[in-house]
Amino acid sequence: MLDYLLTDDQKMIRDLCRQITDEKIRPVSAKYDETQEFPWDVVKVMAESDICGLYIDQQYGGMGGGIMELVIATEEFSKGCGGIALAFAATALGTLPIMLFGNEDQKKKYLPDIASGKKIAAFGITEPAAGSDASAMQTTAVLKGDHYVLNGMKHFITNGGDAETYVVIAMTDKTKGARGASAFILEKGMKGFEFGKKEDKLGIRASSTRELIFTDCKVPKENLLAKEGMGFIVTMKTFDKSRPGIGAQAVGIAQGSLDAAIEYSRQRHQFGKSISSFQGIQFMLADMATQIESARALVYGVARMIDSGAKDYSKYSAMCKLCASEMAMKVTTDAVQIFGGYGYIKEYPVEKYMRDAKITQIYEGTSQIQKNVIGLALIKEALKK
Amino acid sequence: MKIVVCMKQVPDTTQVKIDPQTNTLVREGVQSIINPFDVYAIEEGVRLRERFGGTVTVVTMGPPQAENALREAITVGADEAVLVSDRAFAGSDTLATGYILAMAIKKIGDVDIIICGKQASDGDTAQVGPGIATQLDLPQVTYVNKIEDIKDGHAVMHRMTEEGYEIVQTSMPCLITVVKEINEPRLPSLKGKMKAKSAPIKAMKAIDMDVDESRLGLTGSPTWVSKIFTPPSRPKGEIFEGEADACADKLVSTLKDHLKG
Ligand SMILES: Cc1cc2nc3c(=O)[nH]c(=O)nc-3n(C[C@H](O)[C@H](O)[C@H](O)COP(=O)(O)OP(=O)(O)OC[C@H]3O[C@@H](n4cnc5c(N)ncnc54)[C@H](O)[C@@H]3O)c2cc1C
Ligand SMILES: Cc1cc2nc3c(=O)[nH]c(=O)nc-3n(C[C@H](O)[C@H](O)[C@H](O)COP(=O)(O)OP(=O)(O)OC[C@H]3O[C@@H](n4cnc5c(N)ncnc54)[C@H](O)[C@@H]3O)c2cc1C
């Protein structure tokens, strides 16, 4: 790996997460891929090792790190299993809105338990008819006295059902379109808040993906995040910070597949030689490694820009997610190619990396949506000149 | 509860090499780790603190670089660390080691329970734990695989034997040695790692303890090693080369011949 001049603490985090991955994630990744159960035992290890609160402020029980620390941990875990890593990374997605927009009471109430790993979190905006176009959302929230009443549903929600803390976007004023959405903090067990079916997926099968169903669900007024009408701003600002995490997941998955491919290519013999002695294979490995390193450099660069306190980084956030996820799909597909027929067989590790990589091009905005974000930003910048 | 865990830094290999000239372990070029059994001892100490409160002090006797092992123990939850180190201790056998550690623990004072590993992966004698208990005139329970409860000045634990286990009750304070079945050691925590970086390591020399100098180091070690040697290594295995089918046939017939003897 290129020397990214990590601080001593960041190296410590990387080494610890690597140890967790090698000792606790790799041995169980095939099992959870098969069973689709939630990897609670691994989450417990992450909690005991103080990893769950890595990016949360110290005053709320976290370790006080930033997006860079989140990225380092997510990448390491994803080398072992992109699905298990998501229990951690999607919790960050559900926690960032509270960190960014929560008031003091909300932060005090919700962050410490997430930092300690006692609870995990989730974020819900997607609905069956509102995917890339989130403004088509149907879920409503109506203020009645001291609480809002939510009706509707969300689907494809990561950690859904397993998380205790949810940030959910709902329409408080449909007439205002995108400006009529608001963000709420929900807790598992609130009356009228239930879970629908758990999806059976292609990849990241250790991660749970469920429907959230709201039937006259009463949410106390004080659980409104920011102000009414801020729902989409909360979402966009959250995605700006969380997308490097998906980039890191993609980098980790790709690196995991490359490591496996290098090892295999040295052991597999055809035509009386190890296949790693063929230039055709070496060129593939060289391309894979170069593509991974470029994506990693971009992801780390954006994470550091965010942590430095920069204001406007949506474009770069979208770029690093786009670049890393496209790279991961290509690299993991090539890893399967290097394994030949064995790569297609579940007994070998690379087909899982390929299945896991696909989602990184889809959630938190598809690759096409990232390009929209980048393209619009470019045009906006040109107009300003 | 004041908990002391005795831990030893050992070479990271199960194939310890012996210098044929000096009959001592060759340590150069071998990375050091915490004696594998002592990792379980540390974990049990930390769990006792989590169950009953108190502090965990890790103690090691060894050269200055044994400090690294102590810091590692802090990453998994030890509160304090004591490095017992002095030129006068060099060459100590198990008797002298037990004596020195006992005197160090006496100096630490008011200890409720001392936890040792079952044995060290290099020396392998399993004598140091019982030696410490004897020097301190404390009850000892060896091969512990479960601590059921500690209350009213008594502890109830399970002791692993070849046939099963014994349930033992002992008065406190006491010394125990633990087997790997007792727990599953945790991974380090980030807070532990950060603490370990700067944690003070208390140094204890001969003059800091109340010791009889004739019982230290080589002078205090009646063990006389006449010879240590590496047993001849096993003959190399046979490798069949060629077509897979032919190799398999050859393998099966060779195995059959061996079984016939
Ligand atoms: C495993 C998994 C986990 C998820 N986790 C979460 C979660 O935790 N929280 C959450 O809220 N959501 C989550 N999602 C939802 C995810 O974010 C959406 O699936 C994603 O945003 C795409 O929406 P869609 O599925 O409705 O696809 P659609 O929006 O229907 O897109 C279909 C195709 O059309 C393309 N397309 C759409 N609009 C345009 C356009 N304007 N220009 C060009 N192409 C376009 C898309 O790129 C895509 O290729 C998850 C999804 C999955 C599968
Ligand atoms: C035949 C022989 C010859 C030796 N000759 C020499 C020599 O010439 N010079 C020399 O320096 N050494 C020598 N040693 C090494 C030394 O005597 C022992 O390593 C030491 O006394 C500990 O014994 P052990 O390794 O068998 O530990 P064991 O008794 O197997 O260890 C049991 C437990 O006691 C505790 N413990 C053991 N050692 C320590 C320690 N140092 N600090 C804290 N806790 C500890 C640990 O909890 C450990 O799990 C020799 C050892 C043997 C077996």
Euclidean distance between CA atoms B74 and A268, whole angstroms: 44
Do residue A240 and residue A112 come from a single domain? no
Residue B202, φ and ψ in degrees, nearest 5? -80, 125
Instruction: Put residue A232 in one of left, alpha, beta given phi > 0 → left and psi -120 to 50 → alpha.
Output: alpha
Of A213, A231, A249, the position where a domain reaches its end is A231
Mean pLDDT lowest for which of A329-333, B27-31, B118-122? B27-31
Nearest CB among A12, A20, A63 relative to B187 is that of A20
Report pLDDT for B15.
Answer: 61
Do residue A41 and residue A86 come from a single domain? yes
Considering only the C-alpha atoms of chain B, give the largest distance between any 2 of them, rounded to a whole number of Å: 72
Quick one: fold of B2-215?
Rossmann fold (3.40.50)
Tell me which chain A residue has its CA closest to the CA of residue B75.
A49
Report pLDDT for B19.
Answer: 75
- pLDDT tens for A163-217 read 999 999 999 999 998 899 999 999 999 999 999 999 999 999 999 999 999 999 9
Q: Tokens at residue A72, please?
A: 């380092």
Q: What percent of chain A has pLDDT over 70?
A: 100
Nearest CB among A9, A23, A49 relative to B189 is that of A49
pTM, 2 dp? 0.89
Residue nearest to atom 24 of ligand 2 (CA): B123
Calculate how close chain A gets to B209, using CA atoms only, in Å: 36
pLDDT at residue B238 tops 90: no
Inform me whether the C-beta atom of residue B190 falls under 8 Å from chain A C-beta atoms.
yes
- Could you tell me the distance, in angstroms and rounded to a whole number, from the CA of residue A272 to the centre of ligand 2? 51
CATH code at A37?
1.10.540.10
Euclidean distance between CA atoms B34 and B11, whole angstroms: 8
CATH code at A193?
2.40.110.10
Contact, B79 vs B112, CB < 8 A? no
Mean pLDDT lowest for which of A269-273, A298-302, A376-380, B216-220? B216-220
At residue B70 the predicted structure's pLDDT band, cuts being 50, 70 and 90, is very high
- Could you tell me the distance, in angstroms and rounded to a whole number, from the CA of residue A131 to the centre of ligand 1? 5
Report pLDDT for B14.
Answer: 64
At residue B18 the predicted structure's pLDDT band, cuts being 50, 70 and 90, is confident
Do residue A276 and residue A332 come from a single domain? yes
- pLDDT tens for B155-176 read 999 999 999 999 999 999 999 9
Of A71, A88, A85, A172, residue with least CA distance to A122: A88
Report pLDDT for B204.
Answer: 97
Do residue A101 and residue A157 come from a single domain? no
Residue A360 CB: number of other CB atoms within 10 A? Answer: 29
Tell which atom from ligand 1 comes closest to the C-alpha of A94.
8
For chain A, the first-to-last Cα distance in angstroms comes to 39
Q: Which among A75, A76, A326, A364 is annotated as catalytic? A: A364
**B187/A16 Cβ within 8 A:** yes
Of A187, A186, A185, A182, residue with least CA distance to A172: A182
**A16/B193 Cβ within 8 A:** yes
Do residue A168 and residue A286 come from a single domain? no
Range of the domain at A294: 234-384
Domain ranges (residues) in chain B: 2-215
- Could you tell me the distance, in angstroms and rounded to a whole number, from the CA of residue B71 to the centre of ligand 2? 20
**B190/A63 Cβ within 8 A:** yes
Nearest CB among B186, B187, B190 relative to A13 is that of B190
Instruction: For strands B154-160 and B140-151, give the pairing.
Output: antiparallel
- pLDDT tens for A340-369 read 999 999 999 999 999 999 999 999 999 999
At residue A328 the predicted structure's pLDDT band, cuts being 50, 70 and 90, is very high
Do residue A285 and residue A226 come from a single domain? no
Domain count, chain A: 3
pLDDT at residue A276 tops 70: yes
Euclidean distance between CA atoms B101 and B114, whole angstroms: 11
**A50/B190 Cβ within 8 A:** yes
Do residue A248 and residue A368 come from a single domain? yes
Do residue A92 and residue A218 come from a single domain? no
Euclidean distance between CA atoms B7 and B16, whole angstroms: 19
Average pLDDT over residues B91-105: 96
Do residue A245 and residue A225 come from a single domain? no
Report pLDDT for B21.
Answer: 75
Report pLDDT for A111.
Answer: 98
Tell me which chain A residue has its CA closest to the CA of residue B192.
A49
Tell which atom from ligand 2 comes closest to the C-alpha of B6.
44
Contact, A81 vs A29, CB < 8 A? yes
Residue nearest to atom 4 of ligand 2 (CA): B93
Euclidean distance between CA atoms B136 and B138, whole angstroms: 5
- pLDDT tens for A116-141 read 999 999 999 999 999 999 999 999 99
At residue A54 the predicted structure's pLDDT band, cuts being 50, 70 and 90, is very high
Report pLDDT for B213.
Answer: 92
Residue A263 falls in the annotated catalytic set: no
- Could you tell me the distance, in angstroms and rounded to a whole number, from the CA of residue B9 to the centre of ligand 2? 10
Chosen for mutation from B74, B189, B190 (greatest number of chain A CBs closer than 10 Å) is B190
Inform me whether the C-beta atom of residue A9 falls under 8 Å from chain B C-beta atoms.
yes
Report pLDDT for B225.
Answer: 81
